[in-house]
Structures are given as C-alpha cells and as structure tokens.
C-alpha cells in the first residue's frame, strides 16, 4: 500500500519510492495541500497546517474563525467565488447565471491499480499492485455539482497522476467554463520556472524565468499542443540544476489546447496548475452528464532536472506508450521526402529503396504525393486513393516489390485534413471546421476535417484502413499540418459550439484507438509539421514522433536536448538529411549529421542514389554502428552532460540499465581559436567497474574506472573544425 489515510489527523499520505504527497481534510470538509517533496518515512505527519489571520481583505469563510480564509489556504482543487482571488482550478456557470461554487468533501476510496479514463489517453499499469489510486468525491450541496478528484501514485516511480471527473447530480444544466487537471499550492516562491517553447522548426527550446508576483503562463490556443509551447512546466528550487536540487514537473497527457501556469500571491506562496485551456472553452453538463479532464502527470525529483527527466522517460516509455512496438527496437528508415518532394515515380522510389537496402537500411517510407492528383500541396487531401499516373501498377505492387527485397514498407498520411480541391470536399463541404457565413481561412491550402462529427471519424477510419489493408505496410507517418481557425461544427447547437475543439480531440483519439488496434503490427509515428504535436497524448497511440521538420544537425542539438526534458529517446524521430540543409542552408559534415541523428530513432531523408562511394561507405558504417547501439539508445537511461543553451559544446549520454554499456555524443558547433582544453565528465556509470573506451570507432588501449570517468572525466577532442562531433562507446570489462 502506498496511500495511507490517518483518521486522527484527517490526512492522506501518498508515498512512492522517493516522494511523498500529503493532503488534509480541514474542518472535515475542505481539501487542502500540506506537502509535496522528498519521501517522508512515516504514514502521517505531525506538523499540520499553520493558520493565522493575515488581512481583513482576505474574507473569512467561517464567521467565527478569522484564521480561516480561502485567500490564504493551500488548496487541492480551488474554485471561484468564495474568497480565493487566485486562479481557480475550475469554474462553472449555473442556470441563474452565477459562477460561485463551493465543493465539500463527501467520501473517498482507495483502489489497488489504476482505472482508465474514458475516451482519453492516460498512463496505465500492467500489474494492479504497481500503483494505488485515491478518489476523493467533492460536492457542491447547493447545485449538486460533484467532482471526483483522482490521484494515482506509482510505487517504484516518483510520479503521481491527477485528473478530475465532474458529475452533474443536480436538476439544472451547468456550464463548465474551466476544468484544470491539477493544482498545487506550494509554501514559498523561491523557484525558477522552466518551459519548452519555440516555433515551427525551432521546437521545445529550454527557457527559464524567475518567479515574480502575479501570473506566469504558457498556453496553446491553436487547437493542438503546438510548436510554440509544450504541455509541460517545471519549478526548480533555489539551488536546483541538472544533477541536484528539488524539481517539480507537471505534464499533461493531451494533444489540444492547454494551459500551464504559476501564480505567486501577495504572501509569496505559489500556485502551480495545468489542464485544458479555458480560452474559448465551455462544456454543457445537463442533469446526469459527466465530464472527464485529461490526466496530469506530476513528477518530483531531488536529483535535479536529470532525475525528473529519467522518471518521465521510464513512465512514458513503459506505461504510456503501448502496443507491439513499445519494447521493440525501431527500424532504421529512408524517407523520400527531401529526396523527391512531390516529383517521383515508381522507378525512382524503387531505386532509393534499393540503395537503402545495399547500405543496411531496413524500412522505406513513401512520403507525401502518392494519392489523388497530389503534385503539390494544394490538392487531394482527403482522397486516399493511389495516383496511378505515378504508380501505374498500384501502391500494393510497389510495396510488395520493395518488401520482396527484405525491406519494410511505410507510408505517409495526413488524414485529419482536406483540400478544397478534392473529391471529398466537393462531396462534403460541411465536413470541415467552419462557422456559417464566415470565409474559411486557409493554411497550406488546406482545411481541417471536423472530427467532432462521427461521420467524419468513420470516413477517416474506413479510408485509411482500406489503404493499410491493401499493401504490406509496417509503418505509418501520421501528419497534421495546420492549426485551427473558425472553430465551429455544423452539427453542434449554438450552446455547444465552444465544445468543438475538445470534441475534436476526443474524436481524434477514438479514430487513433480504432486504427492502431486494428493494425497492431504497424509502427505509427506522429507528426505535425514535425514537432507541433509532440505530447504525451499522442504517445499513447503512437510510440514515436517526428521531432522537428528542421533536420539540420546543429539546430537539432537544441531541439533534441529540450525534448529530452520530458520525452524518451525512443519517442524521437531523427534523420540525416542532405546539404545544404533544406531549412537553414548549413553545410554540416555527414559524420556530424549521423551522430546527432543516432541519438533518437535513426533514419535518412535524402536521395541515396546521389551519394558518392565514400559517402555510401560512411552511411553503411553509421547504419551498422546504430544497429549495435540502438537498444541502448532507445531503452537506456539518458543523461545530459553539456547544454547547447549554455555553451558552444553539447554532450549527452545513454547508459544501459545494468551499467554495462554507455554511449556518449560530443558536439562542437564552432571552432574556437586557441580554445580551452576540456575534460568530459560522464554520468550514470558504476563507479566500481572498469570500462573500455572507443572514440569514433578507435579503441583506446587503456581501461578506465567508472569513478574516474565520472569525476575526473575523459579528455574531450580538441578539434579545429566547425560542426564537429565525436562518439564515445564504453563497455564494462570488470
């Protein structure tokens, strides 16, 4: 058991291996937060909540108790209207137009295991005793609105998940206007906030800011988790860094509009929250209806950001991702997109696949342009029928010919979109997101199908499934290339139009559940113009994501480093592309491009038939080396060594669970004249073992103690070259 209820002190104590989370029932009815941090060994705590009167401007909920005010209490799920002037976790409008709510404790249950969330992705357990769940039922006695606040604690991971289910047990309709998944009040404001922000081709850069009085917020209003923000924030304690100190992370298992925010109040306490964005959101709850929020994943680390990341990595790799491919090494692929764009035919595709087979590549992926009349990005989305002008013998014949050589065959789709120039749009112009009498804003010459509609979801399932059944396809790249505008649905009534964006996500999740469960042998990779929907919600259905459309090795250092704050290497698609790079024009060496891409799910995105013999030999060697290392890279423990946001040098490493093997990458962006000599200090090794070492394939004659490698370090390469890289491989010999 890892959840304990102390009847004497009315406290709930949630314990994982190294973390405690403590809640108290105050006056037997109000749910308040006491503690989140390093594990407390007892099952109850002796020092309870301190209550003092702070100011007359903080209203007193109980007239006879001037020490009690919601304005000063650390609450677990705060509402609006009863004297708390900070950001509420939920808001609900009632039939009389008022928005005051007052939730009181009713009951609780402690469950072995972890229930699923209806219609939503969430973490899970494979054995019931891996986790325990606390469900606390709160109710507003005046309106009948009930909220079941759920907490699951994983015994062996420092992770706690939270979600809320609203149930209208009253007689009148209620409009939910805000429904966050998690809210935690911390006792002080001595933190830095970290977020992962950027833009298309510049996703998930690491940004820090000190907390100041007031609200600090990141948010997506784009209909997806977005390139610009990621549904994650962390608070770093006063002395926290990569390897030490207290860190608190919140991550949302959701792919649509979200908000993550921190508010510092007048008393220098901190409220940390994450959930659905309340912007343009409302949900009508008629009597008897329920509404489920997405799941928030809370991680505490006493080992800095690195400890936080490794918890997220293991949880998301093993208890969020699902299916056949979760624990299997991922194939090395060649994708034809940057090699041909839309200009290809069957002989050209077969020639690239044949070249890949010669070099040891395992999977060929046919990207955009194989369907309808798709010679550019202005047409045919929604018409998932092969283009016989490009593929005269059909997609099935092409796939069979390629798989007959021993290669696997994969295919690109963009099923959520529709082109106005398509048979689908001409037949069903009302199937896209739109608002009556408003023009339809275009993005990349396309519109978004309305997945809040069941008929649209059924069409996507049927049309995509027909293609997947027609050929020996083992991989799908599922793309989504624009953000939402004119967010409205032809089938929803006026008082439910603000439900459209969330209903879209529920529709998408239902589509993904049906398709991925029907084709369990297919490895699905999520994509949204690269990393525009790199979030935990998509990882539940697809165990990897195309990390960014920016394939430049130097830019990828920051993108992959930032992504690693939350997401494991097994989730990151990373490819070698051509030079000059198609996004930034940089001329990085093939060696460096290969080394950076090897730090994720490895592949190539260029015309292999145009490589020189020397380049082909190097690619062949890269492929062979990755095959030796990929289990370590995809499933090992990840450590960040040097940050690209702080230095001209970037370094990271992977260590096997048994500490028998390690792989480290070292990357220099620009050459520095007469620069310093460096030592690279490793992490995660066994200090009592000795290791052999090779650098860029050259084995050192010496062996090194693990403690020496970590505390004294190894000599870093002294290279007078821009865009230089080196790979270190360590193997235990004692």
722 is in an annotated binding site: no
Backbone angles phi, psi at 314, to 5 degrees: -65, -40
367 is in an annotated binding site: yes
Cα(86)–Cα(265) distance, integer angstroms: 7
Cα(594)–Cα(626) distance, integer angstroms: 9
Lowest mean pLDDT: which of 58-62, 261-265, 370-374?
58-62
CB 472 within 8 A of CB 403: yes
Label residue 269 by pLDDT band (50, 70, 90). Answer: very high
Which residues have a Cβ under 8 Å from the Cβ of 206 and sit 6 or more positions away?
Answer: 194, 196, 558, 561, 562, 565, 643, 645
Report, as residue numbers or ranges, the catalytic residues.
479, 549
Q: Is the pTM of this model over 0.75?
A: yes
DSSP-derived secondary structure letter, 40: P
Burial (0-12, 13-18, 19+ Cβ within 10 Å), 465: middle
Instruction: Return the pLDDT at 44.
Output: 75
Chain centroid to Cα 206, Å, comes to 15
Q: Which 3 state secondary structure label does DSSP give 591?
A: helix
DSSP-derived secondary structure letter, 644: T
CB 174 within 8 A of CB 143: yes
Checking if the pLDDT of 47 tops 90, the result is: no
368 is in an annotated binding site: yes
- Sorted by where each starts, the structural domains of the chain and their CATH numbers stand as 3-319 (2.70.98.60), 333-635 (3.20.20.70), 641-732 (2.60.40.1180)
477 is in an annotated binding site: yes
Query: What rounded mean pLDDT belongs to the chain?
Result: 96
Q: Each residue of 114-169: pLDDT tens digit?
A: 999 999 999 999 999 999 999 999 999 999 999 999 999 999 999 999 999 999 99
Checking if the pLDDT of 703 tops 80, the result is: yes
200 is in an annotated binding site: yes
CA angle, 31 then 35 then 39, to 5°: 135
Checking if the pLDDT of 525 tops 90, the result is: yes
Burial (0-12, 13-18, 19+ Cβ within 10 Å), 205: middle
Label residue 67 by pLDDT band (50, 70, 90). Answer: confident
Torsion 315-316-320-326 (CA) sign: negative
Residue with tokens 């690619």: 619
Cα(79)–Cα(102) distance, integer angstroms: 7
| Average pLDDT rounded to a whole number, residues 272-291 | 98
| Average pLDDT rounded to a whole number, residues 70-95 | 93
Instruction: Return the pLDDT at 52.
Output: 77
Q: Each residue of 386-405: pLDDT tens digit?
A: 999 999 999 999 999 999 99
Q: Which two tokens stand for residue 456?
A: 């649209």
221 is in an annotated binding site: no
Checking if the pLDDT of 55 tops 80, the result is: no
| Average pLDDT rounded to a whole number, residues 194-207 | 98
CB 605 within 8 A of CB 335: yes
CB 379 within 8 A of CB 419: yes
Q: Which two tokens stand for residue 472?
A: 């020996």
Torsion 484-489-492-497 (CA) sign: positive
Checking if the pLDDT of 1 tops 80, the result is: no
Cα-based distances in Å from 379 to 369, 389, 441, 565, 624? 10, 15, 16, 38, 40
Q: Each residue of 615-640: pLDDT tens digit?
A: 999 999 999 999 999 999 999 999 99
Q: Which 3 state secondary structure label does DSSP give 214?
A: strand
Checking if the pLDDT of 46 tops 80, the result is: no
Instruction: Return the pLDDT at 59.
Output: 77
Cα(125)–Cα(111) distance, integer angstroms: 13
Instruction: Return the pLDDT at 57.
Output: 79
Residue with tokens 């260029």: 606
């Amino acid at each position: 058991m890892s959840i304990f209820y102390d009847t004497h002190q009315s406290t709930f104590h949630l314990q994982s291996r190294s973390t405690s989370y403590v809640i108290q029932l105050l006056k037997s009815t109000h749910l308040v937060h006491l503690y989140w941090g390093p594990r407390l060994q007892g099952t109850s705590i002796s020092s309870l909540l301190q209550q003092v009167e702070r100011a007359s401007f903080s209203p007193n909920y109980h007239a006879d108790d001037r020490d009690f005010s919601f304005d000063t209490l650390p609450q677990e799920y705060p509402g609006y209207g009863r004297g708390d002037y900070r950001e509420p976790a939920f808001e609900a409008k009632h039939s009389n137009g008022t928005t005051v709510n007052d939730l009181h404790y009713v009951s609780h249950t402690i469950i072995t295991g972890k229930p699923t969330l209806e219609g939503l992705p969430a973490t899970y357990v494979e054995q019931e005793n891996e986790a325990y769940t606390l469900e606390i039922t709160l109710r507003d006695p005046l309106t009948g609105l009930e909220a079941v606040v759920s907490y699951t604690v994983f015994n062996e991971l420092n992770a706690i998940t939270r979600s809320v289910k609203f149930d209208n047990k009253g007689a009148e309709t209620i409009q939910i206007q805000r429904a966050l998944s998690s809210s935690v009040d911390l006792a002080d404001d001595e933190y830095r906030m970290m977020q992962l922000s950027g833009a298309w081709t510049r996703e998930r850069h690491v940004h820090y800011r000190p907390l100041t009085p007031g609200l600090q917020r990141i948010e997506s209003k784009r209909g997806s988790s977005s390139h610009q923000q990621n549904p994650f924030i962390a608070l770093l304690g006063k002395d926290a860094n990569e390897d030490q100190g207290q860190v608190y992370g919140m991550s949302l298992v959701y792919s649509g509009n979200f908000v993550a925010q921190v508010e510092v109040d007048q008393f220098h306490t901190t409220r940390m929250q994450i959930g659905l964005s309340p912007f343009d959101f409302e949900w009508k709850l008629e009597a008897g209806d329920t509404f489920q929020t997405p799941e928030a994943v809370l991680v505490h680390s006493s080992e800095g950001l690195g400890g936080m990341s490794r918890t997220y990595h293991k949880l998301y790799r093993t208890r969020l991702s699902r299916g056949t491919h979760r624990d299997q090494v991922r194939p090395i692929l060649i994708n034809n997109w940057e090699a041909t764009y839309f200009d290809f035919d069957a002989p050209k595709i077969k020639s690239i696949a044949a070249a890949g087979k010669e070099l040891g590549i395992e999977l060929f992926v046919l990207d955009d342009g194989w369907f309808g009349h798709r010679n550019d990005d202005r047409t045919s989305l929604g018409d998932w029928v092969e283009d016989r002008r490009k593929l005269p013998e059909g997609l099935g014949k092409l796939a069979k010919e390629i798989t007959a050589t021993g290669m696997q065959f994969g295919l690109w789709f963009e099923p959520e979109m529709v082109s106005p120039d398509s048979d689908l749009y001409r037949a069903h112009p009302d199937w896209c997101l739109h608002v009556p009498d408003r023009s339809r804003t275009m993005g990349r010459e396309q519109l978004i199908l309305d997945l809040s509609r069941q008929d649209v979801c059924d069409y996507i399932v049927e049309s995509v499934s027909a293609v997947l059944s027609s050929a020996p396809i083992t991989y799908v790249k599922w793309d989504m290339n624009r953000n939402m505008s004119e967010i409205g649905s032809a089938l929803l009534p006026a008082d439910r139009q603000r439900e459209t964006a969330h209903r879209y996500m529920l529709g998408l999740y239902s589509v993904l559940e049906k398709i991925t469960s029907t084709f369990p042998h297919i490895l699905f990779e999520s994509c949204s113009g690269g990393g525009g929907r790199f979030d935990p919600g998509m990882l539940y259905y697809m165990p990897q994501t195309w990390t960014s459309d920016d394939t430049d090795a130097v830019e990828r250092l920051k993108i992959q480093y930032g992504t690693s704050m939350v997401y494991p290497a097994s989730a990151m698609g990373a490819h070698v592309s051509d030079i000059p790079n198609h996004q930034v024009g940089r001329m990085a060496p093939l060696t460096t491009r290969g080394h950076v891409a090897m730090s994720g799910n490895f592949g190539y995105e260029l015309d292999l038939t145009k490589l020189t013999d020397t380049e082909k030999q190097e690619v062949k060697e890269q492929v062979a080396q990755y095959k030796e290392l990929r289990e370590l890279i995809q499933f090992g423990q990840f450590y960040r060594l040097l940050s690209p946001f702080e230095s001209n040098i970037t370094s990271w490493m992977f260590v096997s669970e048994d500490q028998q093997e390690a792989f480290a990458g070292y990357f220099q962006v620009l050459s520095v004249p007469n620069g310093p000599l460096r030592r690279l200090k490793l992490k995660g090794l066994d200090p009592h073992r000795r290791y052999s070492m090779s650098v860029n394939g050259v084995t050192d004659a010496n062996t090194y103690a693990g403690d020496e490698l970590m505390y004294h370090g190894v000599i870093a390469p002294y290279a007078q070259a821009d865009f230089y890289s080196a790979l270190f491989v360590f193997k235990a010999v004692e």
